[in-house]
């Protein structure tokens, strides 16, 4: 199973692009668990909340992978990843729990799309740092380089972002040898499937 993570600062279009990529490749995507969690409990959070969010994000990714496998799809898209939670935790609380840091190190994605800050800021009750997006972008970029991640920087208009993302995903898929389990993917789109939050 190929897993593509979309990461980066707030208000850079991660959710929209994740959904569009899943539609384009006729597969499923793992929504950002933090939004679901904070919409239910309010915008104030503790370090313990971030740990619950991290566990929820991992569960959402596992559910997406299981759903894609049932559909015979070779790829899923993940709206945010634990790197987001690591950087969020370090900024808000000065450190990140050890288990999250270890998970960031061992959790490998086939491709990471780092979304740029050239889209207009869209206010949202759950967003916090409209004037620090470049600062956070630089942190993401540094972390991905230090991890030797396979990542691509995505910028431009929404349509340009989708085109650029598809270019990198197509390259990823072209290097994957088709298997019997991929027959449904190669044959055409399956029915829509959404991933419930756990």
- The pLDDT, as a whole number, for residue 186 is 32
**What per-residue confidence (pLDDT) applies to 198?**
39
**What is the model's pLDDT at position 11?**
86
C-alpha dihedral sign at 30, 32, 34, 35: negative
Q: Are 61 and 76 in contact (CB under 8 A)?
A: yes
The Cα 7–Cα 142 span in angstroms is 13
Number of other CB atoms surrounding residue 164 within 10 Å: 17
Model pTM?
Answer: 0.85
User: What is the pLDDT, as a whole number, of residue 192?
Assistant: 41
Q: Looking at residue 129, what is its pLDDT?
A: 60
Can you give the pLDDT of all 198 residues of the chain as single tens digits?
A: 999 999 999 889 999 999 999 999 999 999 999 989 998 998 889 999 999 999 999 999 999 999 999 999 999 999 999 999 999 999 999 999 999 999 999 888 999 999 999 998 875 554 556 667 899 999 999 999 999 899 999 999 999 999 999 999 999 999 875 443 333 333 333 334 444 443
Predicted local confidence at residue 197, as pLDDT: 41
Residue by residue, DSSP assigns 138-150 as: HHHHHHHHHTT--
- Residues 46, 8: Cα–Cα separation, whole Å: 21
Which residue in 27, 29, 25, 2 sits closest to 165, CA to CA?
Answer: 25
pLDDT at 183: 32
Question: Largest Cα–Cα distance of the chain, in whole Å?
Answer: 49
Question: What's the pLDDT score for residue 34?
Answer: 92
pLDDT at 195: 43
């Amino acid at each position: 199973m190929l897993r593509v993570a979309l990461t980066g600062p707030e208000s850079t279009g991660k959710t929209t692009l994740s959904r569009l990529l899943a539609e384009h490749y006729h597969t499923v995507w793992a929504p950002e668990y933090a939004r679901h969690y904070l919409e239910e409990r309010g915008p104030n959070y503790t370090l313990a909340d971030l740990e619950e969010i991290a566990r929820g994000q991992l569960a959402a990714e596992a559910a997406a992978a299981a759903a894609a496998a049932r559909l015979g799809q070779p790829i899923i898209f993940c709206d945010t990843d634990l790197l987001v939670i690591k950087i969020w935790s370090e900024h808000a609380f000065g450190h990140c729990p050890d288990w999250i840091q270890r998970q960031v190190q061992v959790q490998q994605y086939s491709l990471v799309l780092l979304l740029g800050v050239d889209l207009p800021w869209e206010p949202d009750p759950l967003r916090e740092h409209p004037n620090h997006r470049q600062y956070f972008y630089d942190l993401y970029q540094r972390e991905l380089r230090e991890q030797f991640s396979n990542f691509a920087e995505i910028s431009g208009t929404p349509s340009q972002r989708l085109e650029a993302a598809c270019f990198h995903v197509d390259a990823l898929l072209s290097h994957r040898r088709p298997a019997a389990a991929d027959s449904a993917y190669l044959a055409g789109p399956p029915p829509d499937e959404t991933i419930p939050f756990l």
